[in-house]
Amino acid sequence: MVGEISDAIIRVRDITVQFGKTRILDGLNLDVKRGEILGFVGPSGAGKSVLTRTIIGLVPKVAGRIEVFGVDLDKASTAERRGVERRWGVLFQQGALFSSLTVRQNIQFPVREYLNLSQRLLDEVMVAKLGMVGLKPEVADRFPSELSGGMIKRVALARALALDPELVFLDEPTSGLDPIGAGDFDELVRTLQRTLGLTVFMVTHDLDSLYTACDRIAVLGNGKIIAAGSIADMQASQHPWLQQYFHGKRARAVMG
Amino acid sequence: MSADPTLERIAQGNGLALCAAGSWTARFAPVLEKMVADAEKLRGSRPNIFIDVSQVSKLDTFGAWLIERLRRSLTEGGIEAKIAGLSANYSSLVDEVRRVKAEPVVQARSVTITGMLEQIGRSVAGVGGTLVGLIEMLGAVLAAAGHVLIRPRGFRLTSTVHHLEQVCWRAVPIVVLITFLIGCIIAQQGIFHFRQFGADIFVVDMLGVLVLREIGVLLVAIMVAGRSGSAYTAELGSMKMREEIDALRTMGFDPIEVLILPRMLALVMALPILAFLGAMAALYGGGLVAYLYGGVEPEAFLLRLRDAISINHFIVGLIKAPVMAAVIGIVACVEGLAVQGSAESLGQHTTSSVVKGIFLVIVMDGVFAIFFASIGM
Question: Which DSSP state fits B68?
Answer: H
CA distance A56 to B372: 65
Q: Which residues 148-187 of chain A have a CB within 8 Å of chain B?
A: 163-164
CA distance B60 to B29: 11
CA distance A111 to B363: 49
Rounded alpha-carbon distances, angstroms, from residue B177 to B185, B226, B284? 13, 16, 11
Angle at A237 between CA A236 and CA A241, to 5 degrees: 130
- CB-CB under 8 Å, B104 with A115: no
CA distance A186 to A174: 8
CA distance A147 to A158: 14
Tell me the pLDDT tens digit for each residue of B149-206: 998 888 889 999 999 999 999 999 999 999 999 999 999 999 999 988 888 888 999 9
Residue A2: per-residue pLDDT: 44
Q: Of A88-97, A208-217, B75-84, B219-228, which gets the smallest average pLDDT?
A: B75-84
Span A248-256, mean pLDDT?
65
| Mean pLDDT, rounded, of chain B | 87
Contacts of B73 (CB under 8 A, 6+ apart): B40, B43
Residue A41: per-residue pLDDT: 85
Residue A1: per-residue pLDDT: 42
**Residue A90 distance to chain B (closest CA, Å):** 18
Contacts of A87 (CB under 8 A, 6+ apart): A69, A163, A165, A166, A167
The ipTM, to two decimals, is: 0.73
Backbone dihedral angles phi then psi of residue B155, each to the nearest 5 degrees: -75, 135
Interface A–B counts its CB contacts (< 8 A) at 85
Three-state DSSP class for residue A32: strand
Residue B263: per-residue pLDDT: 94
pLDDT at A178 over 70: yes
| Closest partner CB to B65 (pick from A125, A195, A197) | A125
Give the 3-state secondary structure percentages of chain A, helix then strand then coil, rounded to 5: 40, 25, 35
Question: What single letter denotes the amino acid at residue A81?
Answer: R
The listed range with the strongest mean pLDDT (A18-22, A59-63, B167-171, B254-258) is B167-171
The enclosing H or E element of A35 equals none
| Closest partner CB to A164 (pick from B60, B66, B101) | B60
Residue B81: per-residue pLDDT: 72
Order of strands, sheet of A167-171, starting from the edge strand that comes earlier in the sequence: A88-91, A167-171, A199-203, A37-41, A216-221, A224-229
Residue A32: per-residue pLDDT: 86
Q: How confident is the model at residue B1 (pLDDT cuts 50, 70, 90)?
A: very low
CA distance A129 to A197: 15
| Closest partner CB to A128 (pick from B29, B89, B100) | B100
> Could you tell me if A111 lies within 8 Å of chain B, comparing CB atoms?
yes
The listed range with the strongest mean pLDDT (A37-51, A97-111, A202-216, B319-333) is B319-333
Residue A254: per-residue pLDDT: 63
Percent of chain B with pLDDT over 70: 95
Residue B232: per-residue pLDDT: 95
Tell me the pLDDT tens digit for each residue of B259-315: 999 999 999 999 999 999 999 999 999 999 999 998 889 999 999 999 988 888 889
Backbone dihedral angles phi then psi of residue B272, each to the nearest 5 degrees: -60, -40
- Kindly give the pairing relationship between strand A71-72 and strand A8-19: unpaired
Contacts of B36 (CB under 8 A, 6+ apart): B7, B66, B67, B69, B70
* pTM more than 0.80: no
- CB-CB under 8 Å, B66 with A121: yes
Q: Which residue has the higher pLDDT, B180 or A236?
A: B180
Alpha-helical segments (H) within chain A = 48-55, 78-86, 103-114, 119-132, 149-160, 179-196, 207-212, 231-236, 240-247, 249-255
Q: Which residue has the higher pLDDT, A202 or A245?
A: A202
Contact A154, A177 (CB under 8 A): no
Span B28-46, mean pLDDT?
77
pLDDT at B18 over 70: yes
- DSSP for A225-240, written as a single string: EEEEE-HHHHHH---H
CA distance B342 to A106: 13
CA distance B233 to B253: 20
Per the DSSP assignment, residues forming a β-bridge with A201 are: A38, A169
Rounded alpha-carbon distances, angstroms, from residue B64 to A124, B83, B154, B370? 12, 11, 64, 74
Question: What single letter denotes the amino acid at residue B89?
Answer: N
- CB-CB under 8 Å, A124 with B96: no
> Could you tell me if B66 lies within 8 Å of chain A, comparing CB atoms?
yes
Q: Which residue, among A38, A56, A60, has the nearest Cα to A220 in the 3D structure?
A: A38
Q: Which residue, among B259, B237, B238, B270, has the nearest Cα to B166 in the 3D structure?
A: B270
- DSSP for A183-228, written as a single string: HHHHHHHHHHHHHHT-EEEEE---HHHHHHT-SEEEEEETTEEEEE
> Could you tell me if A197 lies within 8 Å of chain B, comparing CB atoms?
yes
